[in-house]
A = this chain, B = another copy of it.
Amino acid sequence: MNVSEFKKNGHMIIDWIANYFENIEKYPVKSKSSPGEVISKLPARAPEKAEKFEKIFGDFEKIIMPGITHWQSPSFFAYFPANNSFASILGELLASALGAQCMSWATSPAAAELEEAVMKQLAKIIGLPESFCGVIEDTASTSTLCAALSAREKYSDYAINSEGFGPENKFTAYCSGQAHSSIEKAVKIAGIGKNRLRLIGCDKNYAMIPSEFESAVKKDIKAGYRPVFAVAAIGTTGSTAIDPLREIGKICKKYKIWLHVDAAYAGSALVLPEMRYMIDGIEYADSFVFNPHKWLFTNFDCSAYFVRDKGALIKTFEILPEYLKTSEKSAVNNYRDWGIQLGRRFRSLKLWFVLRSFGVSGLRRIIKKHIELAQYFAEMLAAEKGFEIMAPHPLSVVCFRYKPHKNLSREKTDAFNADLLEKLNSSGKLYLSHTRLCGDFVIRMAIGQTGTEKKHVKSALNMIINTAKNMSK
């Protein structure tokens, strides 16, 4: 493809994307593709000769598009959102064209300095303490792993990095039973072991009970363990429960435990000053993660990881072989030492475009609207006979179920709701997901797509109510 073909094809794709967003509601939200359907249409071998872009793009439309689940649909209510925006798409486009590999300051000074500036701006927008330093990681899984590794290293005096685990490193970690699976994954990867991750009990709101946390810590210390890592969830994945950060923080301080705050989804809501009660006690945190690629209009991937002590982070990851040495005379940030990967994309560009293109007031307006839509959804559903709201909904996710008859057994109620979910999703009109709360199967309605308006929520409401009632007839 030469430059003039690129121009032609590029313009075509820009128009295609515009058209896609204008018509996104016509696609089934969840792909109706069956396992094996897409791959059966793809050849076993790449072509020997170059193919024309028209042909490739034609196959993209014919073969790939029917297998796409439309995460940007305004009726995508599954999981957590991974929303995007036109500003973000254009930022990513420029970054991929420049193709700068941003491992070191020298390999692209503007990328390093824009990242520093944008992360400072972002910290201010969400009300983090001035002392926090930020870096862009790919996902919250990675950010949380960075936190677990920093905890492991800090409390082994960086000896595990050099010597490996010794018999004295009997570490334990803590989170609530509602916290995200990435914490278990991080604890496994870090070599602590998932059986040394204590799942602390929750109150009726699915938030961690601090006294049970402290009891677990005490018990472990008595048994010869060294508690090193705790995660407070601000917005759990199941029901967006908010762990009591200040109380957890005091316990962490008392026992010298690294406190990581996982606000992967809910962090975006901190743009609203009235939501900052969620991070009351943030001064106790050692690290904090939230994903602008979830609910802040920045296309995946972009995870904002903040630490109180960047020295501990860098000391955990720093490596300087000869071939990476550069010659700056003054201090610069080499972000390769702030995480796992050496190579890094120029991710700050899209985030900068988003912050400026929406403005802080614009971010606040849409996030506020999403939260209000969730409250409206919960209120309307609660008023319908048979529907139960299963957890508090301080943010934009509502957990509910339908109980056709008061005395239906748990098993049958679960099965009914699993069927209801399957029926709703297979309609293609909307996409919801599920979790279990206290063992009960519940449906999650997660509002947060950039284009979601009241009409989409109303239409989802109607469909949920009608489908449930028809099924129970």
Contacts and interface: CB of A to CB of B under 8 A. Distances in A.
Instruction: Work out how many copies of this chain go into the complex.
Output: 2
Interface string A125-144: 10000000000001111100
Contacts of A86: 1-3, 5-6, 9-10
A100 B71 contact: yes
A84 B67 contact: no
A47 B360 contact: yes
A161 interface: yes
Contact of A89 (B97, B101, B237): B97
The 10 closest A-B pairs by CB, nearest first: A67-B110, A164-B193, A191-B191, A165-B165, A10-B14, A38-B113, A50-B359, A6-B86, A39-B113, A42-B117
A39 B108 contact: no
Contacts of A191: 152, 160, 164-165, 190-191
Nearest to A110: B67
B94 A93 contact: no
A340 interface: yes
B193 A114 contact: no
A201 interface: no
A190 B145 CA distance: 11
A409 interface: no
B185 A109 contact: no
A205 interface: no
Contacts of A100: 68-71
A300 B13 contact: no
Given A79-B107, A140-B342, 20 more contacts: A6-B14, A6-B21, A6-B90, A10-B17, A13-B90, A38-B110, A39-B113, A42-B113, A48-B361, A50-B362, A67-B114, A68-B110, A69-B106, A72-B99, A82-B343, A164-B191, A164-B192, A164-B195, A185-B342, A322-B435
Contacts of A301: 343, 345
B101 A82 contact: yes
Contact of A84 (B13, B96, B122, B323): B96
A96 B353 CA distance: 15
Contacts of A35: 105, 109, 328-332
Contacts of A82: 99, 101, 343
A299 B95 CA distance: 10
